[in-house]
Structure 1
Amino acid sequence: MGTKIPISITGNLVADPELTISESGVAHAKLRVAVNQRIQGTDGTWRDGEPVFHNVSAFRALAENVANSLKKGDPVHVAGELEFRAYDKDGERRESRRIIAETIGPDLRFGITVYQRSTHPSPRPDAEVHADPHASVTGLSSVPSYIVSTKSPVVVPPFGPATGNEMSW
């Protein structure tokens, strides 16, 4: 039995999500997220600290959506439970930790996305799911698509230019 602790992290994907389908038809995506701490020096300048790497697991529809939507380098926010496990390997006691994700999404401080709702038929054991970071967002599809168009901060009016009694930017 492991200990589970609520956790929320924001970082970048170190590699593309790895999606597998179990024999019982449950989708499982494995992710690795790097989180860098910002450290302020005595002179007031900021620098990146040492990255902390987190193993993340997502299941079912979340796993499929992650595999179809995100790719290496994407900024993400993950919320879930931190799970600690102890096991024996080669007669030696070891411990591991991973985050069991409840939600995963792109970090919108660094880009924009287009949300597309999807329906999720129950996966078949022989089904193949492939990530397509260039999925079309113009037509309706059962494959969700997040398109991060830039990694630098973007400031845009929320609904176009002001046209009357609205505030202008």
Structure 2
Amino acid sequence: MLNRVILVGRLTRDPELRYTPSGVAIARFSIAVNRNYTNQQGEREADFINIVTWRGLAENCANYLRKGSLVGVDGRLQTGKYENQEGRTVYTTDVVAEDVRFLEPKNRSESASDFGGGSYGGNSYGGGKNNNYGRKSMDDPFADDGQPIDISDDDLPF
């Protein structure tokens, strides 16, 4: 059996960080994920999906993500139910994230030096004021340097 969810979307609110009685961090937030089609008015509709993260990943999400942040989420779908104050059964569906990738700086208008280096949710961002979030352009083997790329048919896997 397989239970795997991969999503890319923007946070609809800041993550809410809490701790269990035993001290384990848990963060909850939701992301908006655009649908592949448009409605009759030509607008894209979105699904709003609840995300749950645990432990260090939860703390990183709470510290570095804000409403509007673009993220990639890899996890599993989990359903549950509880009784609300009126005694009605409420059904829940959440994605329990095993990995959250931060797909852009925490604020596009801030410089890359505000990241200070380190790894957050699996992505590494270097400090400094270089382009590409701290990486020098010569570190990118796919950077366009204006020269033709010499690839023979033997180099292609197909």
TM score, norm. by length of structure 1: 0.59
Offset at 1:65?
A: 1.5
Unaligned runs of 5+ in 1: 114-133, 148-155
Separation (CA, whole Å) in 1 of partners of 2:38 and 2:48: 21
Separation (CA, whole Å) in 2 of partners of 1:49 and 1:161: 33
Separation (CA, whole Å) in 2 of partners of 1:97 and 1:59: 16
Separation (CA, whole Å) in 1 of partners of 2:87 and 2:22: 31
Separation (CA, whole Å) in 1 of partners of 2:149 and 2:51: 42
Asked if 1:136 corresponds to 2:116, the answer is yes
Offset at 1:161?
A: 6.5
Name 2:73's counterpart in structure 1. Answer: 78
Offset at 1:75?
A: 1.1
- Deviation string, structure 1 residues 57-107 (Cα, Å, up to 9, x no partner): 100011112122221111111111111112222222221111111111123
- Deviation string, structure 1 residues 119-161 (Cα, Å, up to 9, x no partner): xxxxxxxxxxxxxxx4423xxx6x84769xxxxxxxx772566
Separation (CA, whole Å) in 2 of partners of 1:78 and 1:7: 8
Separation (CA, whole Å) in 2 of partners of 1:50 and 1:163: 40
Select the residue among 96, 101, 106 that pairs with 1:105: 101
Aligned length: 127
Alignment of 1:1-169 (within 5 A): 5-39=3-37, 47-89=42-84, 90-107=86-103, 111=104, 134-137=114-117, 144=120, 158-159=140-141, 162=145, 167=149
Offset at 1:23?
A: 2.6
Question: Matched residues, percent identical?
Answer: 30
Which has the larger share of helix? 2
Name 2:110's counterpart in structure 1. Answer: none
Report which structure shows greater RCO (CA 8 Å, sep ≥6).
Answer: 1
The code of the aligned residue for 2:101 comes to: G
Query: Does the residue aligned with 1:51 lie in a helix, a strand or coil?
Result: strand
RMSD in angstroms over aligned alpha carbons?
3.6
Query: Does the residue aligned with 1:71 lie in a helix, a strand or coil?
Result: coil
The code of the aligned residue for 1:23 comes to: P
Runs of 4+ deviating beyond 3 Å: 143-147, 159-164
The code of the aligned residue for 2:83 comes to: D
Q: 1:23 to 1:40 in 2, by over 3 A?
A: closer
Separation (CA, whole Å) in 1 of partners of 2:73 and 2:82: 25
Separation (CA, whole Å) in 2 of partners of 1:97 and 1:87: 12
Name 2:153's counterpart in structure 1. Answer: none
TM score, norm. by length of structure 2: 0.63
Unaligned runs of 5+ in 2: 107-113, 127-136, 151-158
